[in-house]
Amino acid sequence: MKINKYYIVLAISIFVFGLEISEDYGISWDEGIQRIRGQKALVYVANKLSPSNIKNIPNTLQGYNKFEGSGKYGAGRYGAIFDLPTAFIEELFFSDDLRQAYLMRHKINWLFYFAGIIGFFFFSKLVFKTNKKAALATLFYILHPRLLAHGFFNPKDSILQASVALSLYPLGKAYFEKNWKWFLIAGLAVGLSISTRIVTLYIPFLFVCFCILKILLLKENAGVMFRKNMLNMIIFLIMTFSIVYLTWPILWEDTVHNFLKILSIMKQYPWAGNNFFFGEYIRARDVDWYYIFVWVGITTPVFFLILWGLGIGVFLKSLFNKWNENNIFNGFMFAGFIVPVSAVILLKSTLYDSWRHMFFIYPFLAYFMAKGLFFLSKVINNKLNIEKRTIIIILGVLIFSTPVYSIIRMHPYQQVYFNSLAGKDPMLNFEGDYLGLSYRRGFEWILENDDRDTIKVLSTIGWGNRHLLLNHDRKRLQLIKHDLPRKSAFREGDYYVTNFRGYQPDWYQNATNIPPFDNEVFSINIRGMKILGVYKLR
């Protein structure tokens, strides 16, 4: 496949720039947990491969194959595609420097996410035929402000999103070319997705179903062609589950039982927290059926949503035409997001922290956004007889200028991106910086503006951000866990830092005259939202 050298230069530039800005982001509360899970996986694998050489392992890093509990426990419930390599790299090079270890993790996170971008480009080139169309389609994928930010620090949801995007190209090649080698590669890619998170288990079965549908509708079910198709699908499934087994250490023992146990746990994840949704707190296990639809709707650029709707409309209309390879493949891409969304609704799955657990459906959404754009440009060309290039330039500026501006203006807090549908201050109704990355800047501000040798800071989450501070600053900062803004607790520290998680809207909106909220010394304000407040205690 021939790619213009300018695209190659652009891709390299994006990757290098991403590496540079990866150090700007804070540490989410999830990262420390995932780091421990990776260390547990590393210990488990090392014990399996060379048990006689592993000594003095702390008890905290044992129990990878236990399923009880949540958080840092039950590490084996998750695949180790990201966490195991990063744990190994940390052990080799950064075992004595947590700051550099976390910066390394952010760079590797971006490497995975960038691989997903490249995979989506090649997939778009395959289905839309030209480099220019592929580049436009990829802009939908890369310029989602919220998802882009997660690509630097989210070691679960963004890695899964990237792995799904990477799998689409070999799946497309296998579907259209019917070559056993591409079915083998597709099995490899999909297997890696499943071992990242078991939720993508539906993809191989969905793909096989649509391959069979193509065989039946296009009458490829006779003689040699039929046997070839069946063999290809068997190769695909064998490769998929072989990769799952090889890359998921927990499956190396009691494979079937452990796999079914993980599947049972993850369909109703044991998290008992609450979601702040439409101004009220509701249990994560009791979210409304429209929870995912709302979060996608208020955090995706509006023009993206409009074009997605247009692309879906074009697809649905095509169902009334004569079925062909393209129509059936569009059906696979449509089912790629409909099936998992329907599943979490029917199973009443535990959902929290916006739609991050469903980021993996975004490659399927971006595909239909691109289809909507190309259809709209064709309609305008036919109606107004304007040159296609001019239409694309005008539409491109209208569609992508706002998300580009948001990405630049909000850096490094794009993870709290909302569109205009969320209201003037989305935090009156929805979670803000729920992962606590903004705490990094709060801690840095305190250290820059208070020269005492020891500073006591009360905070709820966000503790992990202390690891990004320089050593001498980290020693000055004494963090005290603080769950509720009680007056008695305020006597324990010098500052109170909060992202208001768990205290919206009361403490966020109505507490300006209540100590310590009447003594704000620093805040981070993003597009009408106060995502972090620092308060001096008296």
Q: Give dist(CA 160, CA 197) in Å, integer.
A: 7
Lowest mean pLDDT among 10-19, 231-240, 326-335, 376-385: 376-385
| Structure confidence at residue 63 (pLDDT) | 64
Cα 469 → chain centroid = 25
Q: Give dist(CA 190, CA 175) in Å, integer.
A: 14
Q: Where are the alpha helices (DSSP H) in 50-97?
A: 83-93
pLDDT tens per residue, range 511-530: 777 878 888 999 999 999 99
Torsion 255-257-260-263 (CA) sign: negative
Q: Which two tokens stand for residue 316?
A: 């649905």
| Structure confidence at residue 272 (pLDDT) | 73
Q: Which two tokens stand for residue 345?
A: 């609704």
Query: Does 509 have pLDDT greater than 80?
Result: no
Torsion 216-163-370-177 (CA) sign: negative
CA distance between the termini of the chain: 66
Phi-psi region of 389 (alpha: psi -120 to 50; beta: other; left: phi over 0): alpha
| Structure confidence at residue 71 (pLDDT) | 46
Read off φ and ψ for residue 424, nearest 5 degrees. Answer: -70, -35
The closest alpha carbon to 240, from 197, 214, 201, 199, belongs to 201
Contact 334, 315 (CB under 8 A): yes
Contact 379, 391 (CB under 8 A): no
Q: Give dist(CA 534, CA 440) in Å, integer.
A: 12
Mean local confidence (pLDDT), 378-385: 88
Residue 70: band (very low, low, confident or very high) from pLDDT cuts 50, 70, 90:
very low
pLDDT tens per residue, range 423-481: 999 999 999 999 999 999 999 999 999 999 999 999 888 888 999 999 889 999 999 88
Q: Which amino acid appears at position 62 of this protein?
A: Q
Q: Give dist(CA 340, CA 246) in Å, integer.
A: 25
Mean local confidence (pLDDT), 320-344: 93
Q: Give dist(CA 43, CA 55) in Å, integer.
A: 10
Average of per-residue pLDDT values in the chain: 90
Query: Does 262 have pLDDT greater than 50?
Result: yes
Contact 201, 243 (CB under 8 A): no
The closest alpha carbon to 277, from 262, 265, 266, 293, belongs to 293
| Structure confidence at residue 221 (pLDDT) | 64
Query: Does 66 have pLDDT greater than 80?
Result: no
| Structure confidence at residue 484 (pLDDT) | 60
473, containing H or E segment? helix 471-476
pTM, rounded to two decimals: 0.94
Query: Does 485 have pLDDT greater than 60?
Result: no
Residue 489: band (very low, low, confident or very high) from pLDDT cuts 50, 70, 90:
low
Reply yes or no: is the peptide bond before residue 412 cis, omega within 30 of 0.
yes
Query: Does 306 have pLDDT greater than 80?
Result: yes
Helix 157-177 to helix 145-153 angle (10° resolution) is 110
Q: Which residues of 244-278 are buried (b: 16+ CB within 10 A; e: fewer)?
A: beebbbbbeeeeeebbeebeebbeeebeeebbbbe
pLDDT tens per residue, range 205-227: 999 999 999 988 887 666 677 78
Q: Give dist(CA 340, CA 73) in Å, integer.
A: 26
Reply yes or no: is the peptide bond before residue 249 cis, omega within 30 of 0.
no
Q: Give dist(CA 358, CA 347) in Å, integer.
A: 15
Mean local confidence (pLDDT), 307-312: 97
Q: Where are the alpha helices (DSSP H) in 129-201?
A: 131-142, 145-153, 157-177, 180-196
Q: Give dist(CA 112, CA 105) in Å, integer.
A: 11
Q: What is the dihedral of CA 484, 487, 490, 492, to 10 degrees?
A: -100
Angle at 398 between CA 395 and CA 401, to 5 degrees: 125
Determine what percent of the chain is predicted with pLDDT higher than 70.
Answer: 92
Q: Give dist(CA 174, CA 179) in Å, integer.
A: 6
Query: Does 1 have pLDDT greater than 70?
Result: no
